[in-house]
Structure 1
Amino acid sequence: MSEHLQKKAKTVSLWGGRFTGKVDPLMEKFNASISFDKRMAQADVVGSQAYAKALCRSGIITEHERDALVNGLQQVGEEWKNGTFEISPRDEDIHTANERRLTEIIGSDIGGKLHTGRSRNDQVATDIRIWLRDEARILLNILKELIKCFVDRATKEIDVLMPGYTHLQRAQPIRWSHWLLSYAFYFKADYERLEQLISRCNQLPLGSGALAGNPFTVDREFIAQELGFEGVVPNSLYGVGDRDFIAEFLFWSSLTMCHLSRWAEDLIIYSTAEFNFVVLADAYSTGSSLMPQKKNSDSLELIRGKSGRVFGDMTGFLMTLKGLPSTYNKDLQEDKEPLFDAYDTLHGVLQIATGVLATLTIKKENMLKALSPDMLATDLAEYLVRKGVPFRETHNIAGRAVRLAEERGCGMNELKLEDFQNLHHLFTEDVYDIFKYEKSVENRNAIGGTSRKTVEGQITLLENWLA
């Protein structure tokens, strides 16, 4: 290619024919997206290769031209992979950059045919779907590793008992494994939502043109098959204007971060000296610049903090979407930065969470010591239920027993038999059998409960799902 053609390829905009005046340099910078959308380089390359093949099938270009385009694009992709691609100051986005470089490699006579019937509107919609579909599958793998870590710990530590909480008040005894598995099921639901999201995202918009469709009868189903899409977006206006899949991913990211944040908050509390149930590994903790004794759970605090960042990505983008007229508007360029930020945050956080959980040390003796007889007040009420007394009545009786123990400054298990019999005549000596934490836990034996059998059932369910 001549030096003149190379220079021309580097300076002409894709849309420049309509304009005679120069664009304000500040506007060029304001308009550009190459600094962040370059991460879609490979998606843009493969999308363009598939489109070149479709143009050939439609008779718009020859097989020789198709091969030149496909091979030239392959070289562009390799340059991105090995870090030798040089971005030009006039490359306003990844599409401009790739087509400019393609034309430098194979010449404008052939390179200029690639965009026939195609708009950057359907091109970017395709690229971003390819990128999100492929990257979201990576998140699925990382998320599954986190879930597996929960299941592995639950299996190994099934005999550890701890207080269960409501309103952050000690409520009833549960298994530590039961608490672990509760989050495993949160993340399993997140995994399944992301799978469903990928399927909805994996629909081809290419062939929609700028908004009205493609005039060259390109075989869109062929393009979809080439690119691994599950189907074709059936309406061209919808094809170029839809970003619901990004909004949905941002919601998914926010909800998943919400679950991660709640899990982190539990562990932050459990790691305090007041609870002292768990100890974070040094690898996921930091110290204080002033207080030598401090060991801060910064990994967990950052997980909790970054949830707000991801929520902001979602709400900001929804505000961008809500006022747009139909089809493509430049505002949609604002879809990528929140998408990439949320993705990068989840990609890191899920791996940190797995590391924290895998290296966590539990203090089962402290968990056991935190159990107290008053946590068995419900068991006391259920004792009378089994003897035919209505629960509403037994609830009141158990509450009076709790109050009596508090007044006497003793545990409920230290009340005398006559104290219980003064509350109800059906109390007998076997009432003291209820003050056994293991028995209380084992009584919760319906599906989903905290007994050993039901917890093992949860583990089996998750293991089968993971397999």
Structure 2
Amino acid sequence: MSESKPATGESKVSESKLWGGRFTGGLDPLMQAFNDSLSFDKRMWRQDLRGSRAYATALVGAGLLTEAEASELHRGLDLVAAEWQSGSFVPAPSDEDIHTANERRLKELVGAPAAKLHTGRSRNDQVATDIRLWLMDYLSDELLPQLRRLINTLVSRAESETGVLMPGYTHLQRAQPVRWSHWLLSYASMLRRDCQRLADCRARTAVCPLGSGALAGNPFGVDRQALADALGFTSGVTWNSLDAVADRDFASEFQFAAAMLGNHLSRLAEDLILFCSKEFGFVTLSDAYSTGSSLMPQKKNADSLELIRGKTGRLCGHLVSLLMVQKSLPSAFNKDLQEDKEGLFDSADTVSAVVRIADGVVATLTVHPEACAGALSCDMLATDLAYYLVRRGVPFREAHAASGRCVALAEAKACQLHQLTFEDFRTVSEKFGEDVTQLWDFETSVEQYGAFGGTALESVRQQVAAFRRWLGDEQK
């Protein structure tokens, strides 16, 4: 009995798929669409071609390609890159991912040498290489410079607006007077940590998995350190091939860093949403970063800030999603890991937009010193009363209690704290001198916080100088 033969259309699977040799039947169209990733992983075309160039050179070193063949492959890869760059690259129906698309087009352009390029290489180590390269490029070329610009904007405003005093808040209640500059620098401090986190993430991303094969390694003696050097993997090569093809720690770490950065800017946005409301009136947003109402003509909405706040939830969601993809995977590569990229790319786009919008908002807003000062009240100096007594030898806990009794006395007399008389203060503690009535000066209050990191003018200037030094070092 003769063996049945596959239909002609089905047999073409083995010709068009990198994995087609084992298969005789065609994919269900629904499965084809479900499996394909070119629609989103084509963002890595540059990195995929860079990896192939380096691998071609490594194959020469391993004696598997001649110099002439490698030269022809490099020429073809350059032609493929030119097509992507110009927008003229035409995907084929069989191009299920960026690796398939590039290899298929390379074969069309240079012929036989293209069939040797994948020797010892798997899409498992190829995609792990591409995504690391993509993230390294994105962090170095886009996000980190954008974030440093935002920090510089905050620091520049802080440096030029040191004279503005405003309430500092805890529990959203007025607490102690601080400088507007001090508030600005608090967010610069958060963002500096974000910069450091992202730079650390990049260093851990810069480890080369190429040469790990599908899972067991490379059998042809390719020089993996030379590959790492050629591709800019400054942290060396991965130590274990099983781990290398499945490791997405770096992507999870980036997702956390992006979510944390988003959380910091969401807090900045929340503060400014309050500060620009009529109830506060501390700042006015530029029209360039505000929108109106389709019904209420008087409205000026801080939509830029509300979207920063809202998009942070998106960043946090992508982090949780990637962690759940990885949580129960068996060792080595599994197709689940195709789900690493869409969230990663969206987080990158989102966090970059959030940072750039925040930079524009901060750079163009107008601060209103009179409104900030008008929100200060002498009850915010109750702690200064306690410090006054401490400086006269009273233990802090006793001084704190005495200050609390002064607050209660003012409430009982239906007056403000600074309206108590010297005699009133003496009923609370004999340690109060006549100079207690001179405490009610907000500039004097903020100037007592002179230790580095405090809100006194000189301390703020020291913080600005420290940021300037750090930003200068970051540019080197």
TM more than 0.5: yes
Distance in structure 1 (CA, Å) of the matches to 2:209 and 2:459: 47
State the Cα distance separating 1:409 from its structure 2 match: 2.4
Q: Is the 8 A contact 2:13 2:20 kept in 1?
A: no
Q: Is the 8 A contact 1:10 1:100 kept in 2?
A: no
Distance in structure 1 (CA, Å) of the matches to 2:93 and 2:230: 33
Q: Does residue 217 in structure 1 map to residue 215 in structure 2?
A: no
Distance in structure 2 (CA, Å) of the matches to 1:275 and 1:403: 27
TM-score (norm 1): 0.97
Alignment equivalent of 2:137, drawn from 134, 138, 157: 134
Q: Is the 8 A contact 2:14 2:24 kept in 1?
A: no
SS in 2 for 1:203: coil
Q: Is the 8 A contact 1:125 1:240 kept in 2?
A: yes
Alignment equivalent of 1:122, drawn from 122, 125, 142: 125
Distance in structure 2 (CA, Å) of the matches to 1:302 and 1:267: 13
Distance in structure 2 (CA, Å) of the matches to 1:387 and 1:375: 21
Q: Is the 8 A contact 2:290 2:303 kept in 1?
A: yes
Q: Is the 8 A contact 1:45 1:98 kept in 2?
A: yes
Q: Is the 8 A contact 2:14 2:23 kept in 1?
A: no
State the Cα distance separating 1:425 from its structure 2 match: 1.2
Q: Does residue 417 in structure 1 map to residue 422 in structure 2?
A: yes
Q: Is the 8 A contact 2:402 2:429 kept in 1?
A: yes
Segment drifting more, 35-44 vs 391-400: 391-400
Q: Is the 8 A contact 1:121 1:209 kept in 2?
A: yes
Alignment equivalent of 2:404, drawn from 392, 399, 402: 399
Counterpart of 2:209 in structure 1: which amino acid? P
Distance in structure 1 (CA, Å) of the matches to 2:201 and 2:89: 33
Residue in structure 2 matched with residue 351 of structure 1 by the alignment? 356
State the Cα distance separating 1:22 from its structure 2 match: 1.2
Alignment equivalent of 1:386, drawn from 391, 415, 422: 391
State the Cα distance separating 1:10 from its structure 2 match: 11
Distance in structure 1 (CA, Å) of the matches to 2:239 and 2:323: 24
Number of matched pairs: 459
SS in 2 for 1:234: coil
Residue in structure 2 matched with residue 86 of structure 1 by the alignment? 90
Q: Is the 8 A contact 1:9 1:100 kept in 2?
A: no
Q: Percent identity?
A: 58
Q: Is the 8 A contact 1:11 1:90 kept in 2?
A: no
Q: Does residue 294 in structure 1 map to residue 312 in structure 2?
A: no
SS in 1 for 2:292: coil
Distance in structure 1 (CA, Å) of the matches to 2:305 and 2:381: 32
Distance in structure 2 (CA, Å) of the matches to 1:229 and 1:102: 25
Q: Does residue 365 in structure 1 map to residue 370 in structure 2?
A: yes
Residue in structure 2 matched with residue 4 of structure 1 by the alignment? none
State the Cα distance separating 1:9 from its structure 2 match: 11
Residue in structure 2 matched with residue 192 of structure 1 by the alignment? 196
Q: Does residue 112 in structure 1 map to residue 103 in structure 2?
A: no
Q: Is the 8 A contact 1:265 1:304 kept in 2?
A: yes
Residue segments in structure 2 that go unaligned for 5+ positions in a row: 1-11
Deviations 1:219-274 (A, max 9, x none): 11111111111111111011101000000000000100000000100000111111
State the Cα distance separating 1:408 from its structure 2 match: 2.2
Alignment equivalent of 1:325, drawn from 321, 324, 330: 330
Alignment equivalent of 1:277, drawn from 273, 282, 285: 282
Distance in structure 2 (CA, Å) of the matches to 1:9 and 1:29: 15
1:26-45 to structure 2, matched below 5 A, reads 26-45=30-49
Distance in structure 1 (CA, Å) of the matches to 2:284 and 2:408: 35
Counterpart of 2:428 in structure 1: which amino acid? L
Deviations 1:29-86 (A, max 9, x none): 0000000000000000010000000001111011111001111001101111111100
Residue segments in structure 1 that go unaligned for 5+ positions in a row: 1-7
Q: Is the 8 A contact 2:289 2:303 kept in 1?
A: yes
Distance in structure 2 (CA, Å) of the matches to 1:311 and 1:78: 37
SS in 2 for 1:139: helix
Alignment equivalent of 2:265, drawn from 251, 260, 264: 260
Distance in structure 1 (CA, Å) of the matches to 2:228 and 2:393: 66
1:45-84 to structure 2, matched below 5 A, reads 45-84=49-88
Distance in structure 1 (CA, Å) of the matches to 2:438 and 2:420: 13
